[in-house]
Amino acid sequence: MNKKIFLPVILILSYSLGWASFLPISPIRSSDDRDISRGPRRVPNISESLAPDVYQNAGSHPGALFQLVRLVKNQPTPVSGLRITTVVNTRIGLRKIDLITDTNGLVELPSCESSNISFQTQFNETRYSISSRSKFYTLQFQIPCKAKTAVIFKEDSSAGQVIAIHQVIQRALITLAQVSDLKFWSRPIRFVFPADGDYYNNDQVSLTLGHQWDVVAHEMGHAIYDQAAIGEFGGGSHKIDQCYSYAMALSEGWASFFAGWTHIDLRDRDAKFEYLVPRRAPIRFENVPSDVCGKSTNEWRVTSFLWDLVDQNQDGEISQVATKKLWDDLLNARVGSIKEAADQLLKHGWNKDQMIQVWKLNFPQEP
Ligand SMILES: [Zn+2]
């Protein structure tokens, strides 16, 4: 509490003494996203030991083959990149083996000699963890040998909600790995579910629901923005269609851009979110509604501006080059507004005429 009163005093004092450049640009590393989702504010008690919701036999196999999927509106989506361990009986005794689900959520064991085989995982990786307020989640399941099995998570179960968060993290990891060596990601990000709101605070992402992919990705976006030192945080609550501070519009707009970049095809002519900000959903960011504040202090327009910088080309491959350049040129930029970000990009050789055109298109009240 003291910090809030204390800091402006230090900043004014140090500025007058010429010390400003030695101080961190922004002491705030948090975002209060009250307006972003209608998730429950009361935190239910759920067990940290998770299990799949349904098992389905899918034929025979010489060893064992299984596929982890989560149902999204009744359609199976693969659970990839999940590290699981099992203990197998070998000639030299029991041996623990680590396995990882592939891009289709599949794991294959060439041989499987007992009747069943057990697996377990803990959601505690080097770069991230998923936990309740007190414990990491664990998942345990058992599948039959000599069979192909579908291991299914439902959208509304506790396990399904945690798996959904895992899926957002995996998509983000894959997307980030296309543009970065991930060295910027030096501190583990703690995902806490269920929480009393959706917000970000000092390497911790708090979530009310897991299946709201765009809300989860937005909050994760704040954590990535923070670790990559892209820019300042504004602090305080905000509304997506209104204008407020430059820093808040930048940090919120970038976080939503991150959700779009990691989850939506850059060639989508009607790019939009699903759950984010229910009172305005679906949030369309290829075409921003005209009643939205038209200045660069509006987060929705910052998202749309960033999206337009990378989606100009119909060719998916060129878009990938643009996202890499956008990432590289804003990494450690520590900018305070989208205008400063645009200036930074121009310094790195982005086309000025194109930049002005995209600016005018997205910030009509600030030409
Ligand atoms: Zn936010």
The label of the residue with tokens 């643009």 reads: 322
pLDDT average, residue stretch 181-197: 97
Separation of 131 CA from ligand 1 center, angstroms? Answer: 20
Separation of 31 CA from ligand 1 center, angstroms? Answer: 5
Tokens of 333: 């930029």
Separation of 217 CA from ligand 1 center, angstroms? Answer: 10
Separation of 242 CA from ligand 1 center, angstroms? Answer: 14
Separation of 43 CA from ligand 1 center, angstroms? Answer: 20
pLDDT average, residue stretch 288-303: 93
Chain-centroid distance of CA 290 in Å reads 28
pLDDT at residue number 184:
97
Separation of 103 CA from ligand 1 center, angstroms? Answer: 29
pLDDT band at 120 (very low <50, low <70, confident <90, very high): very high
Q: Could you tell me which residue, 9 or 195, shows the higher pLDDT?
A: 195
Residues with CB under 5 A from ligand 1 (ion): 31, 33, 252, 255
CA proximity to 251, closest of 179, 302, 202: 302
pLDDT at residue number 8:
41
Q: What percent of the chain has pLDDT over 70?
A: 90
Taking 60 as the threshold, does the pLDDT of residue 256 lie above it?
yes
Contacts of 232 (CB under 8 A, 6+ apart): 25, 26, 28, 247, 250, 251, 334, 335, 336
pLDDT at residue number 313:
52
pLDDT at residue number 12:
39
Domains and CATH numbers, the chain: 24-40+194-362 (no CATH), 49-159 (2.60.40)
Separation of 9 CA from ligand 1 center, angstroms? Answer: 27
Contact 101, 195 (CB under 8 A): no
Separation of 38 CA from ligand 1 center, angstroms? Answer: 14
Separation of 222 CA from ligand 1 center, angstroms? Answer: 7
Separation of 264 CA from ligand 1 center, angstroms? Answer: 18
**Model confidence over 70-92: pLDDT tens digits?**
999 999 999 999 999 998 877 78
Q: Taking all residues of the chain, what is their mean pLDDT, rounded to a whole number?
A: 89
Separation of 145 CA from ligand 1 center, angstroms? Answer: 46
Separation of 12 CA from ligand 1 center, angstroms? Answer: 27
pLDDT band at 314 (very low <50, low <70, confident <90, very high): low
Distance CA(256)–CA(196), nearest Å, equals: 21
Separation of 200 CA from ligand 1 center, angstroms? Answer: 7
Taking 60 as the threshold, does the pLDDT of residue 351 lie above it?
yes
pLDDT band at 64 (very low <50, low <70, confident <90, very high): very high
Count of beta carbons in the 10 Å neighbourhood of residue 366 = 16
**Model confidence over 9-26: pLDDT tens digits?**
333 333 333 334 444 444
pLDDT at residue number 367:
72
Taking 90 as the threshold, does the pLDDT of residue 267 lie above it?
no
Separation of 33 CA from ligand 1 center, angstroms? Answer: 5
pLDDT band at 312 (very low <50, low <70, confident <90, very high): low
Question: What separation, in Å, do the N-terminal and C-terminal C-alpha atoms of the chain show?
Answer: 39
Sequence-separated contacts (24+) of 347-355 with Cβ below 8 Å: 350/309, 350/325, 354/312, 355/309
